[in-house]
Amino acid sequence: MQKFAIKNIDCANCAAKIEHNLARMKEVKYVSINFPDATMFIDTDNISKVRKVVEQTEPGVELVDISPEIKRADLLSSDKKANRRKILYILLISAIYISGIIFREALGSTPNRIAEYIVFLTAYLLAGWDVLYNAARKILRGSLFDEHFLMSIATIGAIIIGELPEAVGVMIFYQVGEFMQQLSVKRSRSAIKALLEIKPLYANLLMDGTASKVAPESVQPGELVLVKPGEKVPLDGRVIEGSSQVDTSPITGEPLPRFYKKDDEIPAGVINRSASLTIKVLRSFQNSSIAKMMDLVENAASKKAETEKFITTFSRYYTPAVVAVAAMIALVPPLLFGQNFSDWIYRALVILVISCPCALVISIPLGYFGGIGGASRKGILIKGSNFLDTLTKVKTVIFDKTGTLTQGSFKVNDIVPSNGFSKNEVLYYAALAEEHSNHPIAFSIKQAYGEELNDIKIESFNEMPGYGVNVKLDSKIILAGNDRLLHQENIAHKICDLNESIVHVAIDKKYAGYIIISDQLKDDARHSIKYLRSTGIQNIFLFTGDNDTVAKDIADKLDIDGFYADLLPEQKVQKLEEIISKSPPYDKVAFIGDGINDAAVISRADVGIAMGAYGSDAAIESADIVIMTDTPSKVGTAIEIAKKTRKIVWQNIFFALGVKAFFIILGAAGAASMWEAVFADMGVALLAIANAARLMRR
């Protein structure tokens, strides 16, 4: 899949035509153009032919490779000088037009017809030469029924029937409307520009006690960076010296600062506020949280909602249909009923001006664009507008337990030895078994043991997701895991389930005891469940690999409808399949998780949601939506944003079609002029854009 920025495209209908023509090419396997973001995603082996088709469809439009040397923010920035020139140009044309009106009124029309034509045609050509030129080029290429063609036919027709002032005025008004429309779209694009500018520009790399500014991409994991007050954290890392208040809003959308101290993990892109921090880099910039966030935001445009696809298809048939209606209005009454040609041609021209589908073609993708942008401002990354639509249909939500509803920061609370083993021995063997595991429980056991185990050579290590670990050391077989592991290995033991998470330990098939691990509910876990119910969620379930007793305790505390415990990763998928099969056809199921063992079930859900703050890479890659904080209440926020987006999108659809239908009826009845028609076109487009832009507000 290749990604390009699209230069010189200010027409949504033109973008839709380019996408349609490219999709018809046999060399193109997939193409998606996002007009608000001015980007194209395409899967093809013949990019040179693609460029030719783009040039043929819309002369002057360019595809620009997005590379480190070309900043996306620069491609989206507006040209203030060009805007000022455009304003002066419109003022000049308006002055000529007004002078023509004064000249006509002062001298009368009959004896000065030639002079009147000279003045008005001069103003008309100045106002509309680019519209006429583009229309002519597209006609030669066989491309009709865009706004340039419609405006050219309508205004030339008005000149032919003697309506010179109206033809010129409508063309000027059209140029003003186009200019305002472009400004509105550029203002919306600036939101993406702001998101792209969260990337840190440099890192203070510490070498031999001296800091030097380098590009974040050049810093390697394990190196140290210094972050001064007011600077952005350049890479994901761990604080090894210092403590400070940090503004996390660029990543999480949370307005309140967060306090970071020694040993805390800190993500790239957040802003240090109060004191210097020395950070040990954990991941390269390419694998950092901010790089993934930027990639997700930019790539979200490639997955379009069904409503967007429908509107693009609808516009291809809508405009020719309205043109056919206009032709019938112009010809049928005069030919069949002897009506005045001039009157009915004027009515038809009014309808032509109204028929441009720009309001729909711009405002619908802009609405989804705004929804995705607005969600990202709140720390919710949605990988495509299709997932926004699916979110509105979610009626069942399933949570993983550890790291999703609970903090996932485990702590050893007690050690209960058995069969002659001591507490220290149980903890020691458990720490040995978990030495090479990255599971949060393993980390808590190693932390409780507190001593280095680097010199001990483990002969074999086997981690079994959903069970535990099996380690061979000095001819000893050490098992550490849950009750299921003990039963699988036929190890006799008295304690199976407790109202807490426990890790059983066995040495050479002999039960040594168990370790009690505590994990607290997240602060907003209860609020999250209530919030979800307020958004219309009907069923909430809990999936966990923990035992029934722990699962029931969590479900009761949070008022969750049901739970499924002792689940292996593949069993989570099976249970999800059962829930989906029992749900009504149009009701969707969302799953929220964070661990590597959740990747499969996240991928299978109608909407897969990953906790991105501390979630595994596999879970984040599999997810449709990534929450950049560890707060489950953001699931409810995402659903609310999705519903608001869909509401605004359909408001724009009904508003645009309703107003256009109303003015088409007025035009056919002779009750609307071209002035009202151009308002129905441009005015509706501007109002629809303004409505869609509401989604970008915080």
Q: Judging by DSSP bridges, how do beta strands 539-543 and 625-627 pair with one another?
A: unpaired
pLDDT the model gives residue 20: 87
pLDDT the model gives residue 85: 76
Same domain assignment for residues 426 and 537 = no
Same domain assignment for residues 613 and 474 = no
Q: The dihedral of CA 506, 509, 511, 512: what is its sign?
A: negative
Mean pLDDT highest for which of 364-368, 379-383, 430-434? 430-434
Tell me whether residue 529 is in a domain.
yes
Amino acid at 300: A
Tell me whether residue 279 is in a domain.
yes
Better-scored residue on pLDDT, 305 or 261: 261
Same domain assignment for residues 498 and 579 = no
In the predicted model, is pLDDT for residue 642 greater than 80?
yes
Q: What angle do CA 647, 653, 659 make, to 5 degrees?
A: 125
pLDDT band at 72 (very low <50, low <70, confident <90, very high): very low
Please list the alpha-helical segments (H only) found in 358-401. 358-377, 385-391
Tell me whether residue 72 is in a domain.
no
d(CA 332, CA 642): 47
d(CA 38, CA 50): 16
Same domain assignment for residues 546 and 514 = no
pLDDT the model gives residue 587: 94
Tell me whether residue 235 is in a domain.
yes
Same domain assignment for residues 638 and 493 = no
pLDDT the model gives residue 608: 92
Length of the chain: 698
pLDDT the model gives residue 73: 46
pLDDT the model gives residue 297: 60
The DSSP bridge partners found for residue 426 are: none
Domain span holding position 252: 203-298
DSSP label of 456: P
Same domain assignment for residues 400 and 548 = yes
Q: Enter the tokens of residue 10.
A: 């200010």
Q: Quick: pLDDT tens for 105-152.
A: 666 545 556 777 888 888 899 888 888 988 888 787 766 667 788 888
Q: Any idea what the CATH number is for the domain that residue 635 is in?
A: 3.40.50.1000
The DSSP bridge partners found for residue 516 are: 414, 502
Q: Quick: pLDDT tens for 314-325.
A: 777 877 888 888
Amino acid at 231: E
Amino acid at 649: V
Q: Quick: pLDDT tens for 49-66.
A: 999 999 888 878 888 886
Same domain assignment for residues 260 and 386 = no
pLDDT the model gives residue 535: 94
The DSSP bridge partners found for residue 24 are: none
Q: Quick: pLDDT tens for 77-100.
A: 445 666 677 777 777 888 887 877
3-class DSSP state of 560: coil
Task: State mean pLDDT over 596-612.
Answer: 86
Return all residues near 643 (Cβ < 8 A) that are at least 6 apart: 391, 392, 535
| pTM metric for this prediction | 0.71
- What share of the chain in percent tops pLDDT 90? 28
Domain boundary among 231, 263, 298: 298
pLDDT band at 598 (very low <50, low <70, confident <90, very high): confident
pLDDT band at 227 (very low <50, low <70, confident <90, very high): very high
Same domain assignment for residues 424 and 507 = yes
Please list the alpha-helical segments (H only) found in 516-598. 525-534, 548-558, 569-582
Tell me whether residue 261 is in a domain.
yes
d(CA 548, CA 554): 10
d(CA 121, CA 115): 10
Domain boundary among 298, 315, 344: 298
Mean pLDDT highest for which of 70-84, 110-124, 146-160, 581-595? 581-595
What residues act catalytically? 400
Least confident of 246-250, 260-264, 475-479, 599-603: 246-250
Same domain assignment for residues 486 and 556 = no
Same domain assignment for residues 478 and 532 = no
Same domain assignment for residues 547 and 594 = yes
d(CA 153, CA 159): 10
Same domain assignment for residues 385 and 429 = no
Tell me whether residue 52 is in a domain.
no
d(CA 515, CA 496): 12
Number of domains forming the structure of the chain: 3
The answer to whether 185 and 689 have CB atoms below 8 angstroms apart is yes
d(CA 603, CA 621): 9
Give the closest residue to 375 by CA, choosing from 132, 642, 165. Answer: 642
Q: Enter the tokens of residue 187.
A: 């203002």
pLDDT the model gives residue 466: 77
DSSP label of 682: I
The answer to whether 450 and 413 have CB atoms below 8 angstroms apart is no
Q: Enter the tokens of residue 475.
A: 């001819």
DSSP label of 695: G
d(CA 538, CA 30): 37
Q: Quick: pLDDT tens for 476-527.
A: 899 999 888 999 999 988 887 776 778 999 999 999 999 988 778 888 999 9
Domain boundary among 298, 329, 346: 298
d(CA 353, CA 681): 7
Least confident of 32-36, 56-60, 241-245, 462-466: 32-36
Phi then psi dihedrals of residue 473, to 5 deg: -145, 120
pLDDT the model gives residue 178: 74
Tell me whether residue 610 is in a domain.
yes
Q: Any idea what the CATH number is for the domain that residue 482 is in?
A: 3.40.1110.10
Q: What is the DSSP string of 2-52?
A: EEEEEES---HHHHHHHHHHHHT-TTEEEEEEETTTTEEEEEES-HHHHHH
Tell me whether residue 481 is in a domain.
yes
Q: What angle do CA 309, 311, 314 make, to 5 degrees?
A: 110
The DSSP bridge partners found for residue 65 are: 4
547-579 per-residue burial string, b: 16 or more CB within 10 A, e: under 16: beebbbebbeebebeebbbbbebeebbeebeeb
pLDDT the model gives residue 77: 47
Mean pLDDT across the chain, nearest whole number? 83
Q: Any idea what the CATH number is for the domain that residue 292 is in?
A: 2.70.150.10
Q: What is the DSSP string of 641-666?
A: HHHHHHHHHHHHHHHHHHHHHHHHHH
